[in-house]
Every structure is written in C-alpha cells, then in structure tokens.
C-alpha cells in the first residue's frame, strides 16, 4: 500500500485544489506523489507524478537573515527528507519558465511512520510576491518621506499624550545636538528643558484638549538659550476619536523678529532723520530772511549791511554743507567716493578744518586748543576730504561737549602712523554710544546748550573717508562725565619726507576777464554778474541756450559760465556747440549747476567743460579759476 492509499484520493484532490496555497507531497526518495492546481499555477509548469522534486522546483534562491537572496544547492524538500527537519516560512525566489519570478514562503513538514522513519514530506508554499512588492514600495515611500522630513528646515515632531516623543525629524533632533533615535521615547520636558517646557505647556494642554493651536513665543531652551519660535500644533486622534497626542511644526523666528524690529527701528530713525533734516534746512531760513530784510531797510548803514551779508554767507554755507553731506552719504552707499590725493602740509589741513568749525565752537562758548605737528609734515592725501574729517570731529565735540568746556585738536607722527586726535572734556559716552557712534543717522544724547543740529551722518563720513585713505578711526571714553576722544590713524606710507616740489600756489592777480554768464534763473545770473563786475570783470548775460549762442557770436568771451539744467537747449548742448566754433575752442567753459553726481561731472567733461562747480559756489573758488595766470583747456 502506497503512502496515500489510506485516504480517498478524490477527496484529497478536491480538498487540495480548494486551498489558496500551493501544496505538493513527496515520498522518502524525493519523488512527487501529489500536487494541487495552485502549485502548477505558481510554478508555471505541470510535473508528472513520480518526477523528482528537484526537476519540479529547479534552481532556488533563499533569502538569508540579512535579507539577501543566495543560491541553494538542493531543494528544501530534499533537505527536509535527508535531515528529517522541517521548515517554516522560509522565503524562496522561484524562476518560472516564462522568465518571471515569484517570491514564496515555504513550510515543509516531514511525515514519519512507525519507529520514526521518514516516509515523505508535505510542502505548503504561499505566493508573497505582491506582499513583498507592497512592502518594498512602502519602505521606499517611507524612505522618501524620511528624506523630505529630514531635509526640511522646519522642526517636525510627533508626541504622545504621555508627553514623550514618538517621532522627530533630523532638524528637530539636530537642534539639540542629538540624533532622532536619541530623542524618540524621551520626555519632552527632558529634551527641551523644564523652563522651556513650562513656556509651551499651556499650548500643549490646549492641543491635548483637541484644539489646533498656532502661536509665537520666546522659549528659554536649556541648551540653546532664548529663541523666538513659531509653533503649529494639531491633535492626533485614534479610531475612536480620542486625542492620543499631537503633531508639531516649529520654526525659529528669532532672526525674523529681529529683522522686523530692525525694520521698525529703521523706520523710526528715517522719520527722525527727516524731521532733523527739515529742522536743519529751516534753521538757516529765518536769519536769511531777516538779513534780506535788513539789506532792504538798512539804507546806507555800512555796518548793518556787512552784518547782514555775513549772516547770509554763514547760512548759505550751512545749507551747502548739509546738502554736501547728503550727497556724500549717497556716494558712500553707491561706492562712488573717489579721493584726489595731493602733497599737502598736514598743518594746513588742520587750519582749514579749524576755520570751518570755529564759529560753532565759539557759539557753544567753548575753548579750542590746537597742537599741530612740530614742523612741516607733508602727506599725500585728499586735502579737502581730510579737512572735512577733522571738521566733522570738531563739530561733533562742539555739539555734544559742555558749554564753556575745552576741545583739543592734536596731530603727531610715530613709527607706524600719523595720529589726529580730537578730544573734549564733555559728558563722555557710554558703551552703547561708543558701539553705534559711526552708524548712519545715529545721534547720541545731546548737551542742552546747543540747539539740535547735524543729521547724524558726519561721523559715518569720517569713517568712510579715513578708510579710503587706508586708515582707521577709533572712539574712546572713560564713561559718562569723563570726556571723550576720537583718534584718526593714517598709515605712515602717506607721509612724504622727500624734497618733492612744494604744492603749487595760486597766483592771484587782478586779471580782467571777459565773462559770459548763462543761467535761466534770472536772479542767480544777475547776482553772479554783479559780483563778477565788482571784481573787475567784463560780464555779459543770457538766460537760455539759443540767446547765449547768438550773444557769443557777437561778444567774444574768454570765460563762459554755463548753467546746465536750462529748459529747451541745456548747458551740455551749448558747450558742445561752442567747442565746434574755432573762436571758442580754447575758451574756458565752467559748468555752474545744482547737479553734482559723478555721472553729471562725466557728462560735463564729455561736453567740453573745463570745470564743474556745484551751486552754491563760494566766490573765492570762482576767483581762483578766473585769476589763474593760465587758463588750461580740458582741465576739470
């Protein structure tokens, strides 16, 4: 009697064909005794009863403990029959005749007879190909999700109602110098710190009560210090709708809040600056109007006229300095400031600065003491810009030092640098003022004796101009009430000890020039013409471009002072037309304009102007041009 003759074959075949799993059985010699329909479907081939199992199964690959597929020298059925040991859920990859592959879980159980002898074995294997693919797709999806979560800047976490972390992304864990595995499972308060958890606890309680919460708060982290965090919490619910935890999305808003605060501060400082600018521009207007009225009513009172003229001159120069400072600040922001170095005695630079600042110092009732370098100290610097630096420092002391106090200006050379120091015995500066002293528009506390003045840009110009010379500027103070000092250090390589040519002196004289003044502003043109006539020059006037060209065709002029911004035919066009005329190819063309940017100067040079003067121009500056013994064309 064969192995399966004890069971009705028809019943066995019917039962086996109803099973969803593939089943076959072998005798002890490994030959197939039965198989169901699912086995042939799975294998893709139909064996014959009595065939060896190895022919039926073919080559196999098993998945080892690491998940890697490895070849196996014999079928699992042959191994079970040989050893008498069964297998359960061993994963096997089977190659089918059509080239496809299936992954199955194999379970084999030996059948023993009397005395324990192995009579055969039954193999049950389940197709898990779809399950394996789904698991692989799930792993890949999870890996992609983890990749996205770990590479977002937001801090993501999932916490349970027990207040422990269930998930964090890399950014969240890295924030505390940890890995996600080191965070998951730990109490929230332990990772954040007790004080930080106390700050967020009211929001945690709300989300655990089922409320979605968004908030921004300062959190004092144990490891990170205080940070401004923007948080969004969403409750997590189970199948019954009970809250079992929450998901949080957290972003560091510290820099953003600082930026907002800085923007508000910038807006406040802008408003303050505009108010100060309006005040500074209005200040000279009142004495200017009063001086004009004095000139109108003063009659022949020479002393009164002189006082009115002095007032007008001071106030116009004050407005001119304000405009120049604004233009300089604009050039700084665009990187357009250029130096014009020349060999100059430092003492002359200091004297020019003192001359500029002395009226303000005297108005404050202060006393200035000057200690120039012992003997000549020639340097290759931009004399006008360096004088501006020193004047700004003196003006700063005058505005902020005490009434009746003292201001010292000194300069000396050592091995490495030339130091220029402006010092006062005023109220001094605290650490915050020292740190912000050279910021644009910053103004520290002002002494009560001087009316508010200055735009808060003078020291910013100082820092930039000194840096352009290759130097550095430093402010010092021993504290409030103990005075202050600002030291400018210029590199020693700017010193010129060689016996080079001395700076060329201007040879003033009484040269009488034929001058044409062209300006559409009638008042400005007539006032300038009057000044030039008082200085002995022969002057003709025109108020537009075509009239000027017609006039200059008849009245030859050595010097033409041209406004640029005239309607219709502007000064550039007039200059180009004059340069085309042989009679004016060597004439001196002077642009007198309110436009003073580098682009305006470039355009005037290209149009043929020799000089570019910005309104208002000091009469002495125009005198130097007109009284020069040589009038070199093409010199701007």
**pLDDT at residue number 206:** 94
Find the DSSP H helices in 19-75.
37-43, 53-57
**pLDDT at residue number 507:** 36
**pLDDT at residue number 159:** 92
Per-residue pLDDT of 23-60, as tens digits, reads: 988 999 989 888 888 888 887 778 788 888 777 665 56
| Whole-angstrom distance, CA of residue 331 vs CA of residue 493 | 26
> Does position 636 have pLDDT exceeding 50, yes or no?
no
How far does the chain reach from its first CA to its final CA, in angstroms?
126
DSSP-based three-state secondary structure for 197: helix
| Whole-angstrom distance, CA of residue 576 vs CA of residue 594 | 20
Q: How confident is the model at residue 367 (pLDDT cuts 50, 70, 90)?
A: confident
**pLDDT at residue number 289:** 77
Average pLDDT of 367-393?
85
> Does position 218 have pLDDT exceeding 80, yes or no?
yes
User: Going by C-beta distance under 8 Å and a sequence separation of 6 or more, which residues neighbour residue 247?
Assistant: 156, 157, 158, 159, 233, 234, 236
DSSP-based three-state secondary structure for 62: strand
**pLDDT at residue number 201:** 92
Q: How confident is the model at residue 277 (pLDDT cuts 50, 70, 90)?
A: low
* Range scoring the smallest mean pLDDT among 108-122, 367-381, 522-536, 543-557: 522-536
Average pLDDT of 104-117?
88
Q: How confident is the model at residue 613 (pLDDT cuts 50, 70, 90)?
A: confident
DSSP-based three-state secondary structure for 202: helix
Average pLDDT of 544-556?
89
533 CA to centre of own chain = 56
pTM score of the predicted model: 0.41
Average pLDDT of 450-454?
47
119 CA to centre of own chain = 83
| Whole-angstrom distance, CA of residue 407 vs CA of residue 162 | 70
Q: How confident is the model at residue 276 (pLDDT cuts 50, 70, 90)?
A: low
DSSP-based three-state secondary structure for 291: helix
| C-alpha Rg value of the chain to the nearest Å | 48
DSSP-based three-state secondary structure for 203: helix
380 φ/ψ sector (left φ>0, alpha ψ -120 to 50, else beta): beta
**pLDDT at residue number 334:** 59
45 CA to centre of own chain = 71
| Whole-angstrom distance, CA of residue 318 vs CA of residue 395 | 12
Between 198 and 73, name the one with better pLDDT. Answer: 198
**pLDDT at residue number 59:** 55
Buried-exposed string 455-469: b where 16+ CB fall within 10 A, e elsewhere? bbbbbbbbbbbbeeb
Between 18 and 453, name the one with better pLDDT. Answer: 18
Token look-up 């106030």 returns 315
Between 249 and 287, name the one with better pLDDT. Answer: 249
Per-residue pLDDT of 141-161, as tens digits, reads: 777 767 766 767 788 889 999
- The sign of the torsion formed by the CA atoms of 602, 607, 610, 613 equals negative
Average model confidence (pLDDT) across the chain: 80
């Amino acid at each position: 009697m064969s192995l399966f003759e004890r069971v009705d074959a028809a019943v066995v075949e019917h039962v086996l064909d109803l099973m969803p799993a593939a089943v076959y059985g072998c005798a002890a010699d490994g030959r197939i005794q039965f198989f169901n329909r699912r086995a042939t479907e799975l294998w893709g081939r139909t064996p014959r009863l009595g065939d060896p199992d190895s022919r039926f199964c073919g080559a196999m690959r098993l998945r080892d403990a690491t998940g890697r597929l490895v070849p196996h020298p014999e079928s699992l059925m042959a191994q079970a029959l040989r050893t008498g040991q069964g297998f359960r859920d061993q994963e096997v990859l089977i190659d089918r005749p059509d080239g496809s592959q299936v992954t199955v879980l194999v379970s084999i159980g030996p059948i023993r007879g009397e005395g324990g002898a192995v009579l055969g074995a039954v193999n049950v294997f389940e197709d898990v190909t779809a399950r394996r693919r789904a698991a692989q797709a799930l792993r890949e999806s999870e890996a992609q999700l983890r990749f996205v979560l770990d590479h977002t800047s937001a801090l993501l976490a999932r916490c349970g109602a027990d207040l422990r972390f269930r998930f964090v992304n890399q950014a969240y864990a890295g924030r505390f110098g940890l890995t996600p595995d080191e965070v998951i499972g730990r109490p929230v308060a332990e990772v954040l710190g007790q004080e930080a958890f106390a700050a967020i606890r009211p929001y945690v309680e709300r989300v655990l009560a089922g409320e979605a919460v968004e908030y921004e708060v300062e959190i004092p982290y144990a490891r990170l210090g205080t940070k401004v965090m923007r948080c969004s919490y969403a409750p997590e619910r189970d199948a019954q709708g009970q809250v079992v935890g929450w998901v949080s999305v957290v972003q560091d808003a510290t820099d953003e809040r600082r930026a907002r605060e800085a923007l508000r501060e910038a807006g406040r400082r802008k408003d303050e600056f505009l108010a100060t600018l309006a005040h500074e521009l209005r200040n000279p207007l009142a004495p200017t109007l009063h001086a004009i009225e004095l000139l109108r009513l003063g009659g022949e009172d020479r002393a009164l006229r002189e006082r009115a003229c002095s007032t007008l001159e001071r106030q116009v120069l004050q407005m001119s300095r304000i405009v120049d400072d604004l233009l300089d600040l604009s050039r700084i922001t665009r990187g357009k400031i250029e130096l014009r170095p020349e060999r100059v005695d430092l003492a002359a630079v200091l004297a020019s600065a003192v001359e500029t600042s002395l009226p303000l110092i005297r108005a404050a009732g202060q006393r200035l003491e000057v200690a120039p370098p012992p003997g000549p100290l020639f340097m290759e610097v931009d004399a006008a810009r360096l004088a501006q630096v020193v004047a700004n420092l003196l003006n700063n002391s005058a505005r902020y030092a005490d009434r009746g106090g003292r201001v010292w200006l000194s300069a000396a050379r050592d091995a490495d640098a030339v130091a220029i120091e402006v010092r006062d015995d005023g109220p001094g500066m605290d650490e915050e003022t020292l740190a912000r002293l050279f910021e644009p528009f910053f103004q520290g506390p002002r002494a009560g004796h001087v009316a508010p003045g200055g735009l808060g840009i003078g020291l910013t110009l100082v820092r930039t101009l000194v840096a352009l010379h290759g130097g550095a500027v430093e402010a010092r103070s021993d504290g409030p009430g103990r005075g202050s000092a600002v030291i400018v250090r210029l590199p020693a390589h700017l010193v010129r000890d060689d016996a080079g040519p001395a700076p060329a002196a201007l040879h003033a004289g009484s040269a009488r020039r034929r001058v044409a003044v062209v300006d559409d502003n009638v008042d400005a043109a007539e006032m300038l013409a009057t000044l030039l006539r008082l200085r002995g020059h022969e002057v003709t006037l025109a108020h537009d471009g075509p009239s000027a060209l017609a006039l200059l065709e008849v009245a030859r002029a050595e010097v033409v002072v041209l406004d640029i911004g005239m309607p219709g035919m502007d000064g550039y066009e007039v200059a180009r037309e004059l340069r085309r005329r042989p009679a004016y190819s060597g004439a001196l063309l002077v642009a007198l304009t309110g436009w003073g940017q580098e682009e305006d100067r470039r355009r005037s040079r290209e149009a043929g102007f020799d000089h570019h003067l910005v309104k208002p121009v000091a009469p002495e500056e125009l005198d130097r041009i007109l009284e020069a013994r040589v009038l070199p064309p093409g010199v701007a």
